[in-house]
Amino acid sequence: MALVLLAISLCASSALAETPLFVRDLLPVLEKAQCMECHQFNGVASTTRLQFPESGASSEEMEAFGDTLRKLVDRANPANSLLLMKPTNRAKHGGGLRIKPGSDEEVAVKAWIDHLLRTPASPGRTFARARTAKEQTVLRRLTHSQYDSTVRDLVGDHTFPSRQFPPEDFIDGFKNQYEGQSISPILAESYLNAAERVAANWQGKDPGPSFVKDFGLRAFRRPLTAEEEKRYSALYAQGKAKLVMEAMLQSPQFLFRLEATSNPAHKPYARAARLSYILWDTMPDEALLKATASGELDTAKGVEGAARRMLSDPRARQSADEFIAQWLRFDTVVTMVKERRAYPMFTREMALAMTEETRRLAADLIWSDKSFMDLFTAGYTFLNADLAALYRLSAPAEEFAKVSFPADSDRAGILGHATFLALTSKPADTSITARGLFVREQFLCQHVPQPPPGVNVNLPVQRADKPMTNRERLSVHLTNASCASCHNLIDPIGYGLEKYDGVGARREKLKVDLPRYDRRQDQKTVEIDIDASGWVTGIQSSEFNTAGGLGRVLAANPQCQECVVKQYFRYALGRHEGPADRPTIERISADFRKSGFRFQDMMISLVRWTEFPPSAELARNGKD
Amino acid sequence: MRPPLSRRSFLRGLAFARPVALALPPLEAMFNAAGTAYAADGAGAETRFVFWFNGNGIPEKYWIPSETGSDFVLTPCLSPLATFRNDIHVITGIDSPAARLPGPGNDHHRSMSALMTGTQFTGRGAGGASLDQVVAARIGGNSRFRSLQVGVSQESFGESVQRNMSWAGYDRPLPPEMLPHKLFDRLFGQREIGWINRKKSVLDAVRQDTVGLKKQLGATDQQRLSEHLDSVRDVEKSIATLPPQYYKVDEPEYDGDMKDWPRIAKLQSDLLAHAFITRQTRVASYMLTKCQGLTRFPWLGYTAARHHDYTHRDGKAPGADGPDGQRIMRDICRWHVEEFAYLLGKLRSIKEGEKSLLDSTMLLYVHEHAEANDHKNNGLSMILAGHAGRLRTGLHTRTTGTIGDLYWTVADDLMKSGVDRFPTASRKVGEILS
């Protein structure tokens, strides 16, 4: 037995010597060093020359990737290869020291460099095609807000039935990501109860058996099949319009949207439904169904025209509103809790006012057709009396009227909004890390790895003899190498916002409650200076010390501009973008830029390029 | 013949009751005149399983008994279990290795997925089926509800993995019902023959639509639609198997403070016990508070900060750094155990034939972390309770197994559900078996 084992291991090691395999020899080393946490499509190091394939790549794909690492090899002086210099931190590496000099892991990297030097480059191959199909969404459940709007438009029900449904969870940043959409028994029961109530409340005139066909077209957003017509006509005979309605409202054909239907007669209708749920958050109306039947949506031009028309409808505002609310996490703002002693002025009404301010600024930029990047730099905002007091401005005559910031104001754009500043704070103080993380993830679309499991995330506590600023307490993040690799990407952003407190009011000094060792002592509080010099690691000349300053850095940054597109893409398509979507995202981003960052143009462009993807056009021209 | 109990009077009974002794109406009022539903079947009572969770870990020095074996002294946190000494088995030292696999999420996300399912957090949810669902898949099929998910603390905070303890499978949360009147409605709501027939026709059409749609889909989406179909079937079954005595019940009338978690917890425990005795389900999960929960505790006098804030020593909860915070955590965890003890007491008070419901129920009480401050996910402390199966009771055991080892033993040896293995399991935890 032992001999056999030995023979096998000898075979294995000789095989290793003969044909190096990336997946076997180097990938485990790079995985252990956690390279792909940052060097991936949406990672913080996505703009560097190293980018790993998405998880789930085939081994063939991984081998091809291993071969492309030769671009990081210095043929003249192999010891100088970036592939070796970066992870060992001999050349300055954003991720710090990942592989120790002299370790077995370093030996493996060197061996791979040798291998690449000895072998010719294998011909470049693209694997995008195989992955396109996998990433395509075909089945999406109506979100709760879509359910409410749909029954409103379908049967005139204004009761918001989804308020009785189990709440939707945020998955991957939004509530509508299809991978998180399931129907649990308790949701199925909620649909049953809602359908029963909606049908019972319906006051419409029963038109007779034609109801099945007409209502079916609108409920299923396409003409019924012969089989369905038969099935529902039988129900009609049994219980008239209300029974048909009750059943259709529980049918998967109503609750789900089939994006890639195999029935050619249904294809244009699926497209119409996509348009209306993206742009309106509700079902197609009669005009759109007519346009669909007439073939208007069969061309890119037709789709653009329809989209433009749809944006002039008030329903488009509701849909864009919902995007803003989810992207900027209004849900956490309206449910957040603040320490009463630290923020006595904070109330639930104030939290609602915060979101209203941000909602109004976004709506103003979108619907007055201004540059959407002004979201980060706008020198005006919309305030009620509570917020004006919080910002120490004079209250406008009318609630939420437009107010210009004074010329010397440090505030501009949403980074100075209480929405952002408060939701990224703790109950009793700011959170430098949460602010930096929110900017990275929401505004730069960069995925920042979580702290590794088991790390002690408690910060040093305040000491009476040496009170510290939050920045000083966080210094451990930058002195400990394993923390620093990520925190130097995150924390410096938060540093620059430290002069805004946990609800978004300006503060010049930090109040520190000194610890008491005896409860009978009075609480002593000292005020210490705040160093609010911040920067965005990875963006040149990004030093700032005000909300407006950071806003100007972001507004001018191409990654931030593209991130607006990506976030809207995620919301509109119900999934995150993958490598196969790159050409689409690039086209939309180019259109967005060309339009001077008009959000409406971007919405139209998104619908146009997702319906008629650039890759498909290229494929038709035989280029690929 | 006694008139059937109305929902209104049932809830009034609950709503006005005080925590210590809930004035529940006598159960026979809910059954036919013969009152036979109380009696155990010839073959004996059916066994039940409760998977109990509350968030945020424990202060170990106030929770874990210093002594092992039968002479352990109840710690401050465990003191509410004084009258249940011989119904429980405290087990400490359980490891949750899947929580430490590198991957997405914070410590709570990772720990929760690992604790419930023995699998890694996917970035969206748990990576597999939770223990209660594994058990329900084997023993829940003949009940009106394959399983029930009961919750208490209605916090809006958190992502899917923090809000749900039951998982049907990879990324498939089963949300808990947190409103007593809704839970009541599911269990005892008004149902008439006409209504039932109508629902059957409707769901029949829905099922046929589903089958038709399924043909058009790829494998992944077929899978998702199957879940929908399963849910529809579950609903159909819950309608078809409705006990006839519930056809006529009054409309609900419900009021009271819905943020009073101790009161809600007791209402939910009462309803769960009634779901068991009326044989509507055999498996339940009970989520007292959320993972990484942010509850405040006005009934304990702790309103300055939220639960999770107290578990960080770095000043998230001002004034609760150090020993003060530990004492607050002690009181919070004692409250958790108090509510667990309430459920045990409720089960013990309901007789089924010769025995009590507690005799036919197995409960497992877990938290996502051991020592809360460190967010530690090895050396977890749990409580096993009830006499379904051959649980050894009256003991504190320190062991070294994984949650998989323990869950496998619970599901296979105690619940007799014939589960093969649970993720991370390699051996049975024999110490809990008599």
What pairing do the DSSP bridges indicate for beta strands B88-94 and B380-385? antiparallel
Closest listed residue to residue B94, CA positions, set B421, B379, B423, B368? B379
Separation CA A508–CA A91 (nearest Å): 39
In the numeric block, which tokens belong to residue A242?
């209300």
Over residues A106-127, the pLDDT tens digits come to 999 999 999 888 888 776 655 5
Q: If you average pLDDT over residues A571-583, what whole number do you get?
A: 90
ipTM for the predicted complex comes to 0.77
Q: Tell me which of A36 and A304 has the higher pLDDT.
A: A304
Residue A56 forms contact with B (CB below 8 Å): no
**In this structure, are A571 and A539 located in the same domain?**
no
Over residues B202-232, the pLDDT tens digits come to 988 998 988 888 877 877 778 778 878 888 8
CA B133, B139, B141, B146 torsion-angle sign: negative
Whether A197 is covered by a domain: the verdict is yes
Contact list in B for residue A473 (CB cut-off 8 A) is 314
Lowest mean per-residue pLDDT among A313-327, B152-166, B311-325: B311-325
Supply the pLDDT for residue A227: 94
Query: Residue A169: which of B163, B306, B314 has the nearest Cβ?
Result: B163
Separation CA A578–CA A508 (nearest Å): 44
In the numeric block, which tokens belong to residue A590?
């180019």
Supply the pLDDT for residue A617: 55
Closest listed residue to residue B220, CA positions, set A435, A469, A33, A260? A260
Is 50 exceeded by the pLDDT of residue A131? no
**In this structure, are A29 and A81 located in the same domain?**
yes
- What lies within 8 Å, CB to CB, of A21 at 6+ separation is A63
Over residues A503-556, the pLDDT tens digits come to 999 999 999 888 776 667 787 889 999 999 999 998 999 999 999 999 999 999
Is 70 exceeded by the pLDDT of residue B4? no
Closest listed residue to residue A170, CA positions, set A19, A331, A32? A331
Over residues A269-321, the pLDDT tens digits come to 999 999 999 999 999 999 999 999 999 999 999 999 999 999 999 999 999 99
What pairing do the DSSP bridges indicate for beta strands B361-366 and B48-53? parallel
- Average pLDDT, rounded, for chain A: 88
Is 70 exceeded by the pLDDT of residue B28? no
**In this structure, are A382 and A268 located in the same domain?**
no
* Integer CA distances (angstroms), A611 to A260, A264, A278, A617, in order: 11, 16, 12, 11
**In this structure, are A471 and A564 located in the same domain?**
no
Supply the pLDDT for residue A272: 96
CB pairs under 8 A between A and B: 186
Q: Which helix (H) or strand (E) holds B49?
A: strand B48-53
With vertex at residue A414, the alpha carbon angle to CA A543 and CA B318, rounded to the nearest 5 degrees, is 85
* Residue appearing with tokens 């002086």: A77
Residue A431 forms contact with B (CB below 8 Å): no
Amino acid identity at A154: L
Is 80 exceeded by the pLDDT of residue A357? yes
Supply the pLDDT for residue A320: 96
3-class SS of residue B114? helix
**In this structure, are A243 and A352 located in the same domain?**
no
Domain range holding A581? 558-621
**How many residues comprise chain A?**
624
Q: If you average pLDDT over residues A142-166, what whole number do you get?
A: 95
Supply the pLDDT for residue A522: 80
**In this structure, are A260 and A391 located in the same domain?**
no
Supply the pLDDT for residue A318: 92
- Judged by CB atoms closer than 8 Å, whether chains meet at A188 and B231 is answered as yes
Which DSSP symbol is given to B366?
E
Largest CA distance in chain A: 91
Is 70 exceeded by the pLDDT of residue B142? yes
Whether A11 is covered by a domain: the verdict is no
Q: If you average pLDDT over residues A215-231, what whole number do you get?
A: 95
- Judged by CB atoms closer than 8 Å, whether chains meet at B156 and A337 is answered as no
**In this structure, are A551 and A424 located in the same domain?**
yes
Counting DSSP H helices and E strands in chain A, the numbers are 28, 6
Q: Tell me which of A606 and A105 has the higher pLDDT.
A: A606
* Integer CA distances (angstroms), A221 to A217, A270, A277, in order: 5, 8, 11
Contact list in B for residue A179 (CB cut-off 8 A) is 124, 171
**In this structure, are A150 and A260 located in the same domain?**
yes
- For residue A591, the distance in angstroms to the closest alpha carbon of chain B comes to 32
- Average pLDDT, rounded, for chain B: 83
Closest listed residue to residue B429, CA positions, set B398, B406, B397? B406
- Judged by CB atoms closer than 8 Å, whether chains meet at B216 and A263 is answered as yes
Instruction: Out of A118, A153, A180, pick the residue that ends a domain.
Output: A118
Q: If you average pLDDT over residues A598-612, what whole number do you get?
A: 97
Supply the pLDDT for residue B155: 79
Separation CA B239–CA B179 (nearest Å): 20
Q: How confident is the model at residue B316 (pLDDT cuts 50, 70, 90)?
A: low
**In this structure, are A402 and A527 located in the same domain?**
yes
Over residues B339-384, the pLDDT tens digits come to 999 999 999 998 888 889 999 999 999 999 998 888 888 899 999 9
Supply the pLDDT for residue A618: 54
Q: Which of A165, A186, A236 to mutate to test the interface with B (most CBs of B within 10 A)?
A: A186
Separation CA B349–CA A480 (nearest Å): 57
Q: Chain A residue closest to B209 (CA)?
A: A251
Q: Tell me which of A18 and A80 has the higher pLDDT.
A: A80
Q: What are the backbone dihedrals phi and psi of residue A577, each rounded to the nearest 5 degrees, phi first?
A: -75, 150
Supply the pLDDT for residue A426: 86
- What lies within 8 Å, CB to CB, of A391 at 6+ separation is A383, A411, A418, A504, A505, A506
Burial readout A109-120 (b: 16 or more C-beta within 10 A, e: otherwise): beebbebbeeee
Query: Residue B231: which of A170, A183, A231 has the nearest Cβ?
Result: A183
Q: What are the backbone dihedrals phi and psi of residue A390, each rounded to the nearest 5 degrees, phi first?
A: -60, -40
Over residues A405-460, the pLDDT tens digits come to 999 999 999 999 999 999 999 888 899 999 999 999 999 999 888 777 667 767 77
Separation CA B255–CA B122 (nearest Å): 39
Whether A3 is covered by a domain: the verdict is no
Whether A406 is covered by a domain: the verdict is yes
Q: How confident is the model at residue A349 (pLDDT cuts 50, 70, 90)?
A: very high
Is 90 exceeded by the pLDDT of residue B32? no
**In this structure, are A492 and A576 located in the same domain?**
no
Whether A318 is covered by a domain: the verdict is no
Contact list in A for residue B100 (CB cut-off 8 A) is 453-454
pLDDT > 70 fraction of chain B, expressed in percent and rounded: 83
- What lies within 8 Å, CB to CB, of A224 at 6+ separation is A212, A213, A216, A217, A232
- Per DSSP (E only), the strands in A250-390 are 256-258, 380-383
Supply the pLDDT for residue B421: 87
Whether A16 is covered by a domain: the verdict is no
* Integer CA distances (angstroms), B208 to A210, A250, A266, B219, in order: 21, 12, 19, 19
Instruction: Out of A525, A555, A585, pick the residue that ends a domain.
Output: A555
Supply the pLDDT for residue B17: 32
Q: If you average pLDDT over residues B271-291, what whole number do you get?
A: 92
Closest listed residue to residue B274, CA positions, set B1, B10, B9, B8? B10
Q: If you average pLDDT over residues A544-569, what whole number do you get?
A: 97
Q: How confident is the model at residue B184 (pLDDT cuts 50, 70, 90)?
A: confident
Closest listed residue to residue A154, CA positions, set A211, A239, A231? A211
Supply the pLDDT for residue B256: 62
Whether A63 is covered by a domain: the verdict is yes
Q: How confident is the model at residue B121 (pLDDT cuts 50, 70, 90)?
A: very high
**In this structure, are A38 and A84 located in the same domain?**
yes
Is 60 exceeded by the pLDDT of residue A75? yes
Residue A153 forms contact with B (CB below 8 Å): no
Query: Residue A450: which of B106, B159, B198 has the nearest Cβ?
Result: B106
Q: If you average pLDDT over residues B116-144, what whole number do you get?
A: 93
Amino acid identity at A8: I
Residue A208 forms contact with B (CB below 8 Å): no
Chain A, window 488-517: residues with a beta carbon less than 8 angstroms from a chain B beta carbon:
513, 515-516
- Judged by CB atoms closer than 8 Å, whether chains meet at A247 and B174 is answered as no
Whether A125 is covered by a domain: the verdict is no
Largest CA distance in chain B: 64
Instruction: Out of A533, A555, A577, pick the residue that ends a domain.
Output: A555
Chain A, window 124-143: residues with a beta carbon less than 8 angstroms from a chain B beta carbon:
138-139
**In this structure, are A149 and A297 located in the same domain?**
yes
Over residues B52-108, the pLDDT tens digits come to 999 989 999 999 999 999 999 999 999 999 999 999 999 999 999 999 887 788 889
What pairing do the DSSP bridges indicate for beta strands B88-94 and B395-398? parallel
Q: Which helix (H) or strand (E) holds A525?
A: strand A525-529
Number of domain units in chain A? 4
3-class SS of residue A92? coil
